[in-house]
Amino acid sequence: MSDNTSILSIAKRTLETESKAIANLVNLLDEEFAEAVQYILNCHGRVVVSGVGKSAIIASKIVATLNSTGTPAIFMHAADAIHGDLGTVQENDVVVCISKSGNTPEIKALIPLIKLAKNKLIGITGNLNSVLAKQADFTLNTYVDKEACPNNLAPTTSTAAQLAIGDALAICLLELRGFSSSDFAKFHPGGALGKKLYLRVSDIVALNQKPKVNIDSSVKQVIVEISEKMLGVTAVIENEKVVGVVTDGDIRRMLNKYDNINGLTAGDIMTRNPKSVKADTLAVKALEQLQDNGISQLLAFDGEEYAGVVHIHNLINEGIL
């Protein structure tokens, strides 16, 4: 069994090999890459990405990235394409074929069918002398000197390069389309990522109770309100306006300060000028405000109207934190 030093040495060598290959892609970028981006940008169809083996897996990931960043894309396995799935490709689609060697039998069989249908072909390959490179309308060079595999066999560095060039394509298209964070949210409505982009304070406070007491409410009434509403805080109201808050912490400080709490009111123990947030603020921004101030709750306002409370536990439950 190898020791930890040997294991870390292998891991570092692998990452260094792959990182150098990806860095070298910068030197391989040329006008054909830019022309391919321009063609996809102006294409009225989809981007159909195809490959075999490990390249097929990379193709699937590139499709996912394109779809999530505003470029309609679909995956088509090259082997399936020549056995009935070629109907996936529609008239205005552009086809991207990925192959390290550029001479994979399935890719070689697929190329003339794509050309016959008059679809544009983008080749992603590390072999500029290959059938794919010579037949493609645009060739993106992903040459790598060697695989990270010590036998130079397992697709490792080559697939990392393919993935990186796919990301470069997607990000170029994203920026040229002016694809914004709000656009991104439309494609990612589920999970924490989507919520960070669309969930607002108003969505949270609508589900919470709305704690409030009058400025002359007794301490007992304050404690009951905080306990019943289960947010660790209550707004203090005077003349229908919020003038302060009482938190769990204020209650503890009161007990330390006073031996006799009879006769004390909410106004005596409240914190004036409480931290607040607009109801239409993104929840993730509210989280930043909570963290910056080292507090657990914010009062939310819809204009001048007290809308409720957002608690840090709400944000944890929503997966924002």
**Residues flagged as binding site:** 77
- What 3-state DSSP class applies to 69? coil
Binding-site annotation: residue ranges for Zn(2+):
77
Question: Tokens at residue 164, please?
Answer: 């990186």
- What 3-state DSSP class applies to 309? strand
Fill in the DSSP letter of residue 252: H
Give the span between the Cα atoms of 54 and 272, in whole angstroms: 62
Give the span between the Cα atoms of 229 and 209, in whole angstroms: 6
Q: 116 to each of 121, 122, 152, how far by Cα in Å?
A: 11, 15, 36
Residue 70 one-letter amino acid: G
Nearest residue to 170 via CA among 92, 71, 84: 71
Say if CB 95 and CB 50 are below 8 A apart.
yes
Residue 292 one-letter amino acid: D
Q: Which residues pair with 201 in a beta bridge?
A: none
Give the span between the Cα atoms of 73 and 66, in whole angstroms: 6
Phi, psi of 300 (to 5 degrees): -105, 140
Three-point CA angle 30, 36, 39, nearest 5°: 145
Say if CB 21 and CB 161 are below 8 A apart.
yes
Give the span between the Cα atoms of 176 and 179, in whole angstroms: 8
